[in-house]
Amino acid sequence: MTPLQLSSNDLLADRRADYAEMLFASGDHAAAAELMLGALELAPNWAMGWFRAGEMHEAAGQAEAAAAAWRMSLKLEPADRPGATLKLQLIGAAPAADSPPSAFVETLFDQYADKFDHALVDTLHYRVPELLNAAVAATGRARFAHAVDLGCGTGLMGVKLRPVASRLVGYDISAEMLRKARDKGVYDSLVKADLQELRPEGEQADLVTAADVFMYVGALDRIFATVTEMLAPAGIFAFSVERYAGEGAFELQPSRRYAHSEAYVHGLIAAAGLTLVSLERAVIRQDRREPVEGLIVVTERAA
pLDDT for 120 = 72
Lowest mean pLDDT among 32-46, 101-115, 144-158, 213-227: 101-115
CATH number for the segment(s) 112-301: 3.40.50.150
**192 vs 189: CA distance, rounded Å:** 10
290 — pLDDT class (breaks 50, 70, 90) = confident
Longest dimension (CA), the chain: 66
pLDDT tens, position by position, 8-53: 889 999 999 999 999 999 999 999 999 999 999 999 999 999 999 9
pLDDT at residue number 8: 86
Within its chain, how far is the Cα of 281 from the centroid? 20
Q: What is the pLDDT of residue 115?
A: 79
Mean pLDDT of 226-241: 96
Q: What's the pLDDT at 285?
A: 85
- 1 pLDDT band, cuts 50/70/90, is low
Q: What percent of the chain has pLDDT over 70?
A: 97
Nearest to 195 by CA among 169, 168, 227, 242: 227
CA distances, 100 to each of 22, 107, 195, 290, 294 (Å) = 30, 12, 12, 24, 20
Give me the mean pLDDT over the 186-212 stretch: 93
> Rounded to 5 degrees, what are φ and ψ at 3?
-60, 145
**Partners of 142 in the β-ladder:** none
pLDDT score recorded for residue 71: 98
Cβ atoms of 172 and 105 within 8 Å: the answer is no
From 120-124, 176-180, 224-228, 248-252, the region with the lowest mean pLDDT: 120-124
CB 284 within 8 A of CB 293: yes
Residue 167 and residue 182: Cα distance in Å, rounded? 15
Comma-separated ranges of CATH 1.25.40.10 domains in the chain: 11-95
Q: How confident is the model at residue 111 (pLDDT cuts 50, 70, 90)?
A: confident
- The mean pLDDT value for 186-197 works out to 94
CA 144: distance to chain centroid? Answer: 27
- Where are the domain boundaries for CATH 3.40.50.150 in the chain? 112-301
pLDDT band at residue 289 under the 50/70/90 scheme: confident
pLDDT at 118: 74
Based on DSSP, count helices (H) and strands (E) in the chain, helices before strands: 12, 9
Average pLDDT of the residues of the chain: 93
Q: pLDDT over 90 for what percent of the chain?
A: 82
d(CA 65, CA 77): 18
Superfamily of domain 11-95: Tetratricopeptide repeat domain (1.25.40.10)
The model scores a pTM over 0.95: no
